Amino acid sequence: MRFDYFFIILIFVLESLFNPIFCKTKPVNGYVMSDSNAYLPNVRIFSLPSKTTSMSDTNGKFSLLMPVRDRKLVFDLIGFHPDTIDAVLFENESIITLTTIIEVNYLDSVNTSIKFVVDRNDERKNSYKIDDMRNQGFNSIEHMIIIDQKKFLKERIFGQKYFHIKDENIFDQNIFFDGVKINNLGYPLFAITPLSEQGLDELSIMNGSYEKDATSPLTLNFLPNITYGNRILINQFFESKDNNRLDGYGAMGFRYGTLNVSGFSRIFQKENSDSSKIRDILDNIATNIAFTNRKNFEAVIYAYQNNKNYLNQKHNNSVLLKDNNLIAKFDQWSPFTGIISLHGLYQSRNNVNNNALDSIVINGECQSLGFNYEKDFNNTTFNFHTNSSITNSDWLLDEKSSSIERQNSIFSASIESYFNQNDTLPYVKEIKIVLSKERTVDVCDSSSSIYILPNNWDNNSLQLSTTIMHHDKKKKNIVTFNLGNTHGVPFLEDIINRNSISHSLLDSNSILPENKSILDISWRQENKIEKYKFSYSLGLSSYGHYYKNKIKYIPLIGNPKTIPLNLGDTRLFGTDIFFGLNTKKKFIDISLLISSITTNDISKFQSIAKQNIKGSIFFHHRFMNLKLITSTYGERNIEYIDNDGNSQNKILDSFTDYTLQISKSFNYKYIKMTFSLIGQNLNDEKIQFDGFNLHKKQFIGEVNISMQ
């Protein structure tokens, strides 16, 4: 028996050694990456006509012994466009890039939710696939945005981080969850995301017009993770016992239905020079149930709850906030009728805020119904969207009470036309027009002991955008234009907060929506230098924003509460310069972003810097990824209300941040693990406000585990 085993092994070894000689083969090896710079495992590689096959490993590496008579190499992976190259000209150790399929998410996908979205590349839209993010070593959206050369994260004075692009305020943003607007009662993001990051599939950031709502210059759309199968995701973020986060996601499903559950718990704490602390505890639990016929219909029910417990010991301020959300959504697709979506939303919010100026309790509820229709006609997409909501808020200020109702309706329609590519002359890639009409009515109950004046606002928004392209085999030039106007209606909670305090700047208890006219122009060039095996990109964008009834949100010292103020008309101009460089094998990526703004009155903007610089160097290797980022922020001014109700200003000095991330991924059968170590503010440059260090040096460890 032992002799038989030895004989079999000997034959196998001899065959492995001499088979390439007798079969006239040659070794072929290289790497496969996605168009988002993530190494791709499980890519099927085969040569033709022999169909000799291999698979890429967890680091995207592949190798095979190809018969010398084969002339083509084919790379194929579900979710990506297959690529066929000339096998004779292929150089070993080369990197093959596969492009993600974005035109249509296939209806017969086995492990993912059916998404009835016909989507083409949009120069104003940035989409971040969470799985791709993990493949690149990013275990959290926060660190992905910190490292992304085109995006900035800003931090409010009590610690909450938020997305910042150009001059947009946190309250200028429209927030959607799977296409359903969720910022109705107040700003809905207690953390960066509305629920666990492990429970998300994709984040889309639209800078400009959006099909479902053109009222805002910046739109965030969070797409949930709906898995028709079994999957477990766990993420642990740890800096210290006072600053850590645990995220989790689980899916249990079959061919036609699934149950998904996710949640996170986050503890954030900062210590003052007098040993007092800011503590912010966030908890989330979410679930969804989905059904599909795997052809053209999907029904999903989402439910999630967020809890916030905030305490500022120095000012003896506290906030208890509970947010409940229930969403039902039905999608149906047909080649004749297009995409039809119906959704219903119920939200409730309980807000107990104790600060030095008052003690207020706000209980709010919102119900909304929405309808969306999308249809392609040859090279033109038509979209129609409408949403109506009723919001009620009851609030108690000390011993006085009030009740107010808001009725809001939004109608929007968009037309987007696409044009054929011209390989020799500049051509118009697409033209898009988005029209929105929003009507808002606020009525206070006559029996209220605190009376708020009624509001009746009728706002129209129109945005026009186009993209012009010119390219050849090596160089591509892209010019985009975005022209239009947007408006910002204050949250009902903001109107209540404005009426709850006495402030020297409040000449009346009424507030008007902010109107903004926009003109954005950008140019980008992408060029490949084959001789030196690298490519580069250059970008230049300029924008002008004109405000009427500019709203500035003034925070209370030591409290998340803000007071909106109308500060009249103003204007702002900005310029962004971008440069990127990467090698052919994408071993090194270098990028630089320089942003600057000018305005006739900087005091009408909250915490905005006139200059920002962000540079990064990425080293991509199959053994690990290493990223070094340096960010320089200019001087900023923060206006706030002190404990006596007076307006104060604080100048925050300019500072530079150095961030280093090292990450590595491992695959073993059905388990994938990603480890990352992050050092932020390595130069330990301190920014003090109210005795707290807003920008401390920290080292963060993260681990992400995926099982499916």
pLDDT value of position 108: 38
Tokens of 141: 């959206």
Contacts of 236 (CB under 8 A, 6+ apart): 244, 245, 246, 247, 702, 703
Q: Is residue 116 part of a domain?
A: no
What does each C-alpha distance from 457 to 46, 216, 217 come to in angstroms? 62, 16, 19
- Least confident range from 113-127, 250-264, 679-693: namely 113-127
End-to-end CA distance of the chain: 39
Q: How many domains does the chain have?
A: 2
The distance of Cα 498 from the centroid of its chain, to the nearest Å, equals: 30
Question: Contact at 8 Å (CB) between 668 and 193?
Answer: no
The secondary structure of 213-259, three-state, reads CCCCCEEEEEEECCCCCCEEEEEEEEEECCEEEEEEEEEEECCCEEE
pLDDT value of position 284: 94
Q: What would the pLDDT profile of 532-574 be if each residue is shown by its tens digit?
A: 778 888 999 999 999 999 998 888 888 888 888 888 999 999 9
CATH code, domain carrying 31: 2.60.40.1120
Question: Contact at 8 Å (CB) between 543 and 516?
Answer: no
159 and 296 fall within a common domain: yes
Task: Assign 349 a pLDDT band (cuts: 50, 70, 90).
Answer: very high
Q: Is residue 688 part of a domain?
A: yes
Q: CA-CA distance, 218 to 572, in Å (whole number)?
A: 16
Q: Is residue 379 part of a domain?
A: yes
pLDDT value of position 5: 46
88 and 137 fall within a common domain: no
Q: What would the pLDDT profile of 265-277 be if each residue is shown by its tens digit?
A: 988 888 887 888 8
DSSP string, 164-209: E-TT--GGG-EEEETTEE--SSS---SSSSSS-GGGEEEEEEEES-
Q: What would the pLDDT profile of 480-523 be if each residue is shown by its tens digit?
A: 999 999 888 888 888 888 877 755 555 566 788 999 999 999 99
Q: Is residue 177 part of a domain?
A: yes
37 and 160 fall within a common domain: no
CB atoms within 10 A of CB 705: 17
Q: What would the pLDDT profile of 641-650 be if each residue is shown by its tens digit?
A: 888 888 899 9
153 and 52 fall within a common domain: no
Q: Is residue 120 part of a domain?
A: no
Question: Contact at 8 Å (CB) between 625 and 663?
Answer: yes
Q: Is residue 614 part of a domain?
A: yes
* Cis bond upstream, residue 490 (ω within 30): no
DSSP label of 22: H
Backbone torsions φ then ψ of 692, nearest 5 degrees: -105, 145
Contacts of 576 (CB under 8 A, 6+ apart): 522, 539, 540, 541, 542, 593, 594, 595
Q: CA-CA distance, 204 to 124, in Å (whole number)?
A: 10
177 and 318 fall within a common domain: yes
Residue 20 or residue 600, greater confidence: 600
Q: Look at residue 667 and tell me whether its pLDDT is greater than 60.
A: yes
Nearest to 438 by CA among 364, 490, 375: 490
Backbone torsions φ then ψ of 420, nearest 5 degrees: -70, 150
Q: CA-CA distance, 550 to 604, in Å (whole number)?
A: 7
190 and 94 fall within a common domain: no
CB atoms within 10 A of CB 323: 23
Arithmetic mean of pLDDT, 233-250: 81
- 277 has which bridge partners? 271
Q: Look at residue 467 and tell me whether its pLDDT is greater than 60.
A: yes
Q: Look at residue 114 and tell me whether its pLDDT is greater than 60.
A: no
Q: Look at residue 695 and tell me whether its pLDDT is greater than 60.
A: yes
Q: Is residue 506 part of a domain?
A: yes
Q: What would the pLDDT profile of 141-162 be if each residue is shown by its tens digit?
A: 776 766 665 555 666 655 566 6
pLDDT value of position 275: 81
The structure tokens 């480890």 sit at: 675
The distance of Cα 481 from the centroid of its chain, to the nearest Å, equals: 23
Length of the chain: 708
What does each C-alpha distance from 702 to 30, 190, 236, 587 come to in angstroms? 29, 21, 6, 24
pLDDT value of position 151: 56
> Which domain does 245 fall in, by range?
125-707
The distance of Cα 560 from the centroid of its chain, to the nearest Å, equals: 23
The distance of Cα 514 from the centroid of its chain, to the nearest Å, equals: 25
Question: Contact at 8 Å (CB) between 270 and 159?
Answer: yes
Q: Is residue 696 part of a domain?
A: yes
332 and 240 fall within a common domain: yes
Q: pLDDT exceeding 70 applies to what percent of the chain?
A: 84
pLDDT value of position 216: 59
483 and 553 fall within a common domain: yes
Task: Assign 257 a pLDDT band (cuts: 50, 70, 90).
Answer: very high
Query: What value, to the nearest 5°, has the Cα angle with vertex 222 and ends 378 and 463?
Result: 50
Q: Look at residue 95 and tell me whether its pLDDT is greater than 70.
A: yes
Task: Assign 258 a pLDDT band (cuts: 50, 70, 90).
Answer: very high
20 and 147 fall within a common domain: no
Identify the three-state secondary structure at position 54: strand
Sheet hosting strand 94-98, strand order edge to edge: 61-67, 25-34, 94-98
Strands 257-271 and 243-253: antiparallel
Backbone torsions φ then ψ of 177, nearest 5 degrees: -120, 105
pLDDT value of position 153: 61
Q: What would the pLDDT profile of 429-463 be if each residue is shown by its tens digit?
A: 889 999 999 999 999 998 888 888 899 999 999 98
CB atoms within 10 A of CB 684: 11
94 and 151 fall within a common domain: no
Backbone torsions φ then ψ of 191, nearest 5 degrees: -115, -155
Backbone torsions φ then ψ of 219, nearest 5 degrees: -125, 135
Residue 29 or residue 299, greater confidence: 299
Q: Give me the amino acid identity at 369.
A: L
CATH code, domain carrying 273: 2.40.170.20
Nearest to 553 by CA among 503, 589, 590, 599: 503
Indicate the average pLDDT of the chain. 82
Nearest to 684 by CA among 676, 693, 692: 693
154 and 6 fall within a common domain: no
DSSP string, 122-141: -TTEEEEEHHHHHHTT--SH
The secondary structure of 250-291, three-state, reads EEEECCCEEEEEEEEEEEEEEEECCCCEEEEEEEEEEEEEEE
358 and 481 fall within a common domain: yes
Q: What would the pLDDT profile of 209-225 be if each residue is shown by its tens digit?
A: 555 554 556 788 898 98
